[in-house]
Amino acid sequence: MHQKLILVTNDDGYQAQGIQVLADSMRKLGKVIIVAPDAARSGAACSITPATAVRVSRISDDVYACSGTPVDCVKIALEKLLPRTPDLVVSGINHGDNASVSIHYSGTMGAVFEACMKGVSAIGYSLRTNKKQCDFSPYVQVVEQWAERVLSEPLREGVCLNINFPETQCLKGSMLCRMAKGAWHTEWLDAGTDSQGCRLFTLTGTFCNLEPEATDTDLYALEHSMASVTPVDIDMTSRESLSEPGLNL
């Protein structure tokens, strides 16, 4: 059997602590190539760079830094940099969780969606933390277990995994769960006006779990010291709405 090929990426940049931990962990499972942004791209979602050229710097034999978004990194890696289609794409470990609706803004998960759209098994890993320097050691075993599992039993077509960790020294295992309903509010700080008199605002925000009673959600897992493992579908069609009489034509 040939050695597995694993693409490692993120949205915090190739020098972030989380991607180093993730790459080290993946090296136990196969040959690792890192293609990641040259600096932080938090909140990049699935954005792409349509108007300007994207630059790729070869940092070392197996590490490339890219001036584009996380999605650009995966697209360039698959088409231009890797010797063959990888067996797995992993993204993270993000500094900050991507549970509930935060998945939509996440560059970490953008990279995962891109791999999934290209038919490659993919997992995103994120840690619920505000710290720049984190202790990732409590999570490394679970990171590796899920990667190993997906390498041996590929995910359903069009499905990828969003795995989030709570900040804890005592992780109580993983929980398979759905995305919780949640919402960000109070998102803008007034930042005065510029020289032309235009108003300025800075993005911030408070997150609210809209289903605090539910016990089957990613937020429940995180609040109970478990890793949340959410299978995510690239096909966003609302099947329930398709069969609803209200929408019929």
Q: Which 178-237 positions form the footprint of a second copy (CB under 8 A)?
A: 178-179, 181, 183-188, 191, 194, 196, 198-203, 229-237
Question: Closer CB to a second copy, residue 164 or residue 230?
Answer: 230
The SS3 of residue 42 is coil
CA–CA distances in Å: residue 63 to residues 20, 35, 134, 170: 11, 6, 22, 32
Question: Closer CB to a second copy, residue 27 or residue 203?
Answer: 203
Q: What is the footprint of a second copy within residues 114-133 (CB under 8 A)?
A: 117-119
The SS3 of residue 5 is strand
Binding of a second copy at residue 5 (CB under 8 A)?
no
Question: Closer CB to a second copy, residue 133 or residue 248?
Answer: 248
199 Cβ neighbours under 8 A, 6+ residues apart: 190, 192, 193
Binding of a second copy at residue 244 (CB under 8 A)?
yes
Question: Closer CB to a second copy, residue 6 or residue 74?
Answer: 74
Residue that has been written with the tokens 């329930």 in this structure: 240
Q: Which residue from 7, 16, 218 is spatially nearest to 136, judged by alpha carbons?
A: 16
Question: Closer CB to a second copy, residue 28 or residue 191?
Answer: 191
Q: How far is the CB of 27 from a second copy (least distance, A)?
A: 25
Q: Tell me how many residues contact a second copy (CB under 8 A).
A: 81
Q: How far is the CB of 114 from a second copy (least distance, A)?
A: 8
Would you state the structure tokens that stand for residue 49, as one six-digit string? 């760079």
Question: Closer CB to a second copy, residue 83 or residue 173?
Answer: 173
CB count within 10 Å of CB 181 equals: 14
Q: Which residue from 162, 89, 161, 166 is spatially nearest to 127, judged by alpha carbons?
A: 166
Encoded one letter per residue, x for contact with a second copy by CB under 8 A and - for no contact, window 41-80 reads -xxxxxxxxxx-xxxxxx----------x-xx--xx--xx
Spatial contact of 216 and 178, defined as CB atoms under 8 Å apart: yes
Q: How far is the CB of 226 from a second copy (least distance, A)?
A: 10
Measured CA angle at 201 (ends 200, 207), to 5 deg:
175
Question: Of the candidates 29, 159, 171, 214, which one interacts with a second copy according to CB under 8 A?
Answer: 159
Across-strand partners of 95? Answer: 127
Q: How far is the CB of 239 from a second copy (least distance, A)?
A: 8
